[in-house]
Structure 1
């Protein structure tokens, strides 16, 4: 069901064809849900001219999963005909050669981009799915039993009306979010300090990092990284590798909770001498230690080195680790002093969702409730607004939104953040979203969406510038 040039009507809109959105489409195809999802019309909207991976390939870091985890996202009998040509792809073979080690995210992104193109071409041809490239979602209006999705493309504005909206437009790092988080702990960053997003710095190569930090190093300024996750330790390594010979001597890491390490099993953790809580730190599904919250692979190596000898990787750059919550009081005071003396503070404290304007049809903005690590949403990604009202039919589960720990997703009890990850996007996380979307499309409507409602209220059309069975299955 589609409409005219000003208004389009369909059952479901997928906003964002990055790792989360594509993960759901892969899962819908291999699970057999795609025909039903597309029956009333399915439109995929993405701002890129080449949808498929978002900005995944721009990061100069390794993945926090081994290569086989990404291959497992493509390895399903239902997808064999779609993906068989990928066995001739250089990206596929690069990942396959690193099946049991962590590949570069740029290689992962290239493989997923090739796979995504094949999936998008297939569902457009076989199921009548519409793919709107280079199209930006500017506003979402909740109007009774439907959502109005306003988009811009090539300087023109149009509206999509749908019953179900899956919205994963990526994440952003808001400096105010960091300032508020530190203030809650009784900590502050001086106005003179620069707050820099790790999301931006992790996209820089060594030359770009040296150019950016040259003024700070010239005046012996202090650099402090805030956070304790994979990105924080990847940031430490990138800074040390790029800046040691430019004069960097030390970096401070301020982290709220204890640094946790990931191990495949309790036996592996014990052999490594790692102390863990057998009740709180073990995933009941996989048996892994700190499955969601622990440092993995390259970040794990950097973290162990930092904890044991206060050095970053194999460099001579020192790192001081200060825990601010439930740690020694002296560490809190050291953290407070380090922040007060910092020239540059690097934010590695997670993401907030990148969202268009959200409004109710009757007036008033929609403010989504946030919790640690993402949005306060149910297992299918339906968020709550600031009044505690569930926005049924709206689903967010990607970067900046995430899903809470759930028995089907698997995680350790001690983890209180939100769950992300390419493998989860392609499997359990998107599976709950698919089930919810299909259930909503099957429900009788309070007022059926009709193409007769063609007038577009309160808007003017205007121009604006604008695999395979060769490898054993693995789970992340």
Structure 2
């Protein structure tokens, strides 16, 4: 015991047991590397009383992957004994019955929560891992080659000392991030505009959305969405469905670059009449068009309707879409005017990572450098701070962090964001992190080399001297 807190030492801490943190544990279990992760002690810390799925299941939208992609995360001989109880899961069967269609995120969240509980119970019993639920990480101090992770649970403070820290605590949307992003393009908002986060709105039902936007509808105020990703088009559909009968006639969409659609192949894109760059928009590994940045499934349908008909799906709600960079003549000026006229503006762009206070031992804060789409990190999720220092031993790849494009994994050359996704968390993204963490743990566990003594030193101390070739000789 040190003062009023307890200190625990272990090799690895996993901060956050949501889709990213659990994806890593699933991957380690099925790849046979979990024993290496847990050898020096493994502690899983999560703020929820029921760790597993994060807030994924709260969203009232469809996924941007088909159900079979999610089920693929659970398919592996090493996982079969663990997941046997899922045969009784209603969420599992709902997704299995629509394996080639995009399921609701609520079903995916429910299934991953059930699967995660099974995995957590298994690794606690089999590998001696510790699960600290209802525990919040409040501060991380990086000292020399170690991390001191301060946590709080039920009013009690503890400190964990570890050599590797995997930190995925979810993401958030900061309205000021949108304001700064618009300002960099020479765009600004009206001082009276009400700002909303799509991350929060996409969790609301129709009644809640009508209540939120009642003031805008009452004065026929302009409602503007900023962004061009999956969430922006999901938001378009949710607002149109909820507000059309309440009087909504038009929504404005402002997006920086062209609306991109996903297709499994160049042939399918061409057959659909979609125009794309055969080099910049095609992944050289998979042959898919706009593999990383394209709208998929339901969002793709909404995107096509916006492009072709300027309407939201089959509703009567019109869409005025303006592209601020490389768009049609007059688009930028129209976007600037729309923003100034907007009563309500919805942020559908950019997540920032939820982070605890981070500092050096002397109290100097650690600020992580950000790039478009998340934290600036290498292929193993090790971030770099604003001074250019790479924080080896710290790994982040979840929402608000993401991973940059790795040529070995593939992506279209035109994509300049960060990669997220449940399947990525369970496969490519976490694989590189696992390899890096194990290498570091093995290095930390290696015994320190014993310095050799010269013959004179050994004779002076009365120690025997053996020639190296005779040290293991039998007498």
Helix, strand or coil for the counterpart of 2:164?
A: strand
For residues 190-242 of structure 1, the C-alpha deviation after alignment (integer angstroms, 9 at most, x for no partner) is: 11001100000000000000011111100111100000000000000000000
What is the alpha-carbon distance in structure 1 between the residues aligned to residue 5 and residue 356 of structure 2? 22
TM-score calculated relative to the size of structure 2? 0.92
Query: In structure 2, what is the equivalent of residue 77 of structure 1?
Result: 77
CA displacement at 1:5 relative to structure 2: 6.5
Query: In structure 1, what is the equivalent of residue 136 of structure 2?
Result: 136
1:211 counterpart = 2:211: yes
For residues 138-194 of structure 1, the C-alpha deviation after alignment (integer angstroms, 9 at most, x for no partner) is: 000001110000000001111000000000000000111101100000000111001
Question: Which is further off, 265-274 or 404-413?
Answer: 404-413
Determine which structure has more spread, i.e. the larger CA radius of gyration.
2
What is the alpha-carbon distance in structure 2 between the residues aligned to residue 357 and residue 436 of structure 1? 24
Query: In structure 2, what is the equivalent of residue 121 of structure 1?
Result: 121
Query: In structure 1, what is the equivalent of residue 316 of structure 2?
Result: 316
Name the Cα RMSD after superposition: 1.3
Q: Is the 8 A contact 1:15 1:44 kept in 2?
A: yes
CA displacement at 1:280 relative to structure 2: 0.9
CA displacement at 1:85 relative to structure 2: 2.0
Helix, strand or coil for the counterpart of 2:366?
A: coil
TM-score calculated relative to the size of structure 1? 0.92
CA displacement at 1:407 relative to structure 2: 2.1
Query: In structure 1, what is the equivalent of residue 245 of structure 2?
Result: 245
Q: Is the 8 A contact 2:366 2:385 kept in 1?
A: yes
How many residue pairs get matched? 445
User: Any stretches of 5+ residues in structure 1 without a counterpart?
Assistant: 449-476
Q: Is the 8 A contact 2:5 2:159 kept in 1?
A: no
Question: Which is further off, 356-365 or 110-119?
Answer: 356-365
Q: Is the 8 A contact 1:225 1:252 kept in 2?
A: yes
Helix, strand or coil for the counterpart of 2:79?
A: helix
Query: In structure 2, what is the equivalent of residue 13 of structure 1?
Result: 13
For residues 123-152 of structure 1, the C-alpha deviation after alignment (integer angstroms, 9 at most, x for no partner) is: 000000000000000000001110000000
Query: In structure 2, what is the equivalent of residue 402 of structure 1?
Result: 402
CA displacement at 1:388 relative to structure 2: 0.4
CA displacement at 1:410 relative to structure 2: 2.0
What is the alpha-carbon distance in structure 2 between the residues aligned to residue 22 and residue 79 of structure 1? 14
What is the alpha-carbon distance in structure 2 between the residues aligned to residue 247 and residue 446 of structure 1? 69
Q: Is the 8 A contact 1:352 1:374 kept in 2?
A: yes
1:282 counterpart = 2:282: yes
Query: In structure 2, what is the equivalent of residue 184 of structure 1?
Result: 184
CA displacement at 1:361 relative to structure 2: 1.1
CA displacement at 1:354 relative to structure 2: 0.5
What is the alpha-carbon distance in structure 2 between the residues aligned to residue 376 and residue 212 of structure 1? 35
What is the alpha-carbon distance in structure 2 between the residues aligned to residue 52 and residue 294 of structure 1? 28
CA displacement at 1:447 relative to structure 2: 12
Query: In structure 2, what is the equivalent of residue 50 of structure 1?
Result: 50
Query: In structure 2, what is the equivalent of residue 335 of structure 1?
Result: 335
What is the alpha-carbon distance in structure 2 between the residues aligned to residue 79 and residue 410 of structure 1? 27
Q: 1:429 to 1:233 in 2, by over 3 A?
A: same
Which one scores higher on RCO, CA 8 angstroms, separation ≥ 6? 1
Question: Which is further off, 332-341 or 277-286?
Answer: 277-286
What is the alpha-carbon distance in structure 1 between the residues aligned to residue 211 and residue 363 of structure 2? 47
What is the alpha-carbon distance in structure 1 between the residues aligned to residue 260 and residue 406 of structure 2? 20
What is the alpha-carbon distance in structure 1 between the residues aligned to residue 432 and residue 261 of structure 2? 29
What is the alpha-carbon distance in structure 1 between the residues aligned to residue 438 and residue 364 of structure 2? 29
Helix, strand or coil for the counterpart of 1:77?
A: coil
What is the alpha-carbon distance in structure 1 between the residues aligned to residue 279 and residue 95 of structure 2? 35
What is the alpha-carbon distance in structure 2 between the residues aligned to residue 287 and residue 278 of structure 1? 10
For residues 276-322 of structure 1, the C-alpha deviation after alignment (integer angstroms, 9 at most, x for no partner) is: 11111111221111011000000000000011010001110000110
Helix, strand or coil for the counterpart of 1:430?
A: helix
Q: Is the 8 A contact 1:14 1:21 kept in 2?
A: yes
Helix, strand or coil for the counterpart of 1:126?
A: helix
User: Any stretches of 5+ residues in structure 2 without a counterpart?
Assistant: 449-475
